[in-house]
């Protein structure tokens, strides 16, 4: 008859090899958590209107926001030597906010119907843009407005009478 000898589990300090894996795993998890937090913080800009931003006043200073507004074309100043774009955002309620952008002017900026500006308001009330997205009318809308021919397959509005 054979006797089974049951070995008791090892209770005591963790062997060095296992300890290294535990510490390495904890470091990796902390690094991942930090990167996720930074990504959410950087990409988590609030999307608000210009009227909401003006209404918040000083409470919004330093917060990352995205704002859609119309560019006042007469206020546009572009310093090509220092690569600084300055303009005013306006809305249909008469709100206005100055913007400064330290980068190259987007290609279709002057033809835009509106812009989406991402950045922060500084303590002087100037919106410091870090990114500008230009919204332009389609080339077919411009053509239709000027009376030019538009391709037949281009959607030109809501069909009426089942057409």
CA distance 134 to 155: 22
Total-model pTM: 0.60
Q: Are strands 114-121 and 127-135 parallel, antiparallel or unpaired?
A: antiparallel
Phi and psi angles of residue 101, each rounded to the nearest 5 degrees, phi first: -135, 115
pLDDT in tens, the chain (163 residues): 566 666 666 666 667 777 888 888 899 999 999 888 877 765 555 778 888 888 888 888 888 888 989 999 899 999 989 999 999 999 888 899 999 999 999 888 888 888 999 999 888 889 999 999 988 766 555 556 666 665 554 444 434 444 4
- For residues 129 and 78, what is the distance between their CA atoms, to the nearest angstrom? 14
| Residue 111: Cβ within 10 Å count | 11
Q: Dihedral of the CA atoms 123, 125, 128, 131 (nearest 10)?
A: 130
């Amino acid at each position: 008859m054979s006797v089974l000898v049951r070995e008791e589990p090892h209770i005591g300090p963790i062997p060095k090899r296992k300890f290294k894996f535990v510490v390495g795993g904890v470091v990796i998890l902390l690094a991942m958590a930090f990167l996720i937090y930074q990504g959410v913080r950087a990409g988590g800009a609030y999307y608000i209107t210009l009227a909401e931003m003006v209404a918040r006043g000083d409470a919004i200073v330093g917060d990352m926001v995205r704002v859609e507004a119309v560019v006042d074309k007469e206020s546009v100043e572009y310093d090509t030597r220092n690569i600084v774009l300055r303009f005013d955002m306006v809305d249909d309620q008469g709100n206005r906010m100055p913007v400064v952008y330290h980068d190259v002017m987007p290609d279709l900026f002057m033809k835009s119907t509106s812009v989406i500006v991402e950045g922060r308001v500084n303590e002087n009330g100037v919106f410091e843009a870090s990114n500008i997205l230009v919204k332009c009318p389609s080339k077919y809308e411009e053509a239709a407005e000027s009376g030019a021919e538009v391709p037949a397959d281009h959607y030109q509005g809501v069909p009426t009478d089942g057409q």
